[in-house]
């Protein structure tokens, strides 16, 4: 009787170990599936971009960074088909490793990347929109600024940039002496 009970316990233990191993394998498969699916969709690193990228490392409470925020927001919208604008707040603890990886020592720091993720140029401090576009141009990227909408007095769009010919707009005559 003692032997039978012992054999039963061994069989029960083996079944228990098989269950644990199968749960472990299922968990690993599920986690690897989520890892594979999120790597392509959720990964915001520079390697996955198909466009060049301007990455600004700063902080929401830093004064020069606050001055840069509206410029970056405007450029992100205006040039969304030309380059990516990304902001990382380095004063948030979860972003510190990223700042260390890119050797950020002062903020704001802007890093210009090509579409393959290679760093092209880096700037520390405030930089204006015109200077950003000028730098992209010097790096070989000619981003044409979006056309300004010219509107006449009656809110009709003016197609002709030569405003002298538009009937609703009067240009002052300059008399020469």
Are 26 and 59 a contacting pair, CB within 8 Å?
Answer: no
Give me the catalytic one of 53, 54, 59, 65: 65
Tell me the C-alpha distance between 27 and 14, whole Å: 20
User: Is residue 150 among the annotated active site residues?
Assistant: no
Tell me the C-alpha distance between 110 and 67, whole Å: 14
Are 90 and 59 a contacting pair, CB within 8 Å?
Answer: yes
Tell me the C-alpha distance between 177 and 174, whole Å: 10
Tell me the C-alpha distance between 58 and 87, whole Å: 7
**Where is 74: in which H helix or E strand?**
helix 63-78
Are 131 and 145 a contacting pair, CB within 8 Å?
Answer: no
Contacts of 69 (CB under 8 A, 6+ apart): 60, 87
Give me the catalytic one of 62, 120, 133, 150: 62
Active site residues: 62, 65
């Amino acid at each position: 009787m003692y032997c039978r009970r012992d054999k039963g316990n061994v069989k029960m233990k083996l079944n228990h170990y098989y269950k644990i191993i199968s749960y472990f394998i299922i968990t690993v498969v599920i986690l690897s599936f989520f890892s594979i699916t999120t790597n392509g969709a959720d990964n915001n690193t520079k390697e996955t971009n198909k466009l060049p990228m301007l990455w600004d490392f700063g902080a929401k409470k830093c004064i020069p960074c606050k001055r840069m925020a509206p410029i970056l927001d405007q450029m992100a919208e205006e040039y969304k088909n030309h380059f990516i604008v990304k902001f990382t707040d380095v004063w948030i603890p979860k972003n510190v490793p990223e700042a260390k990886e890119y050797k950020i020592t002062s903020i704001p720091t802007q890093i210009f990347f090509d579409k393959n993720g290679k760093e092209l140029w880096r700037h520390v401090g405030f930089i204006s929109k015109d200077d950003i576009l000028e730098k992209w141009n010097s790096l070989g990227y000619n981003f044409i600024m979006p056309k300004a909408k010219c509107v006449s007095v009656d809110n009709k769009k003016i197609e002709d940039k030569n405003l002298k010919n538009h009937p609703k707009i009067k240009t002052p005559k300059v008399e020469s002496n």
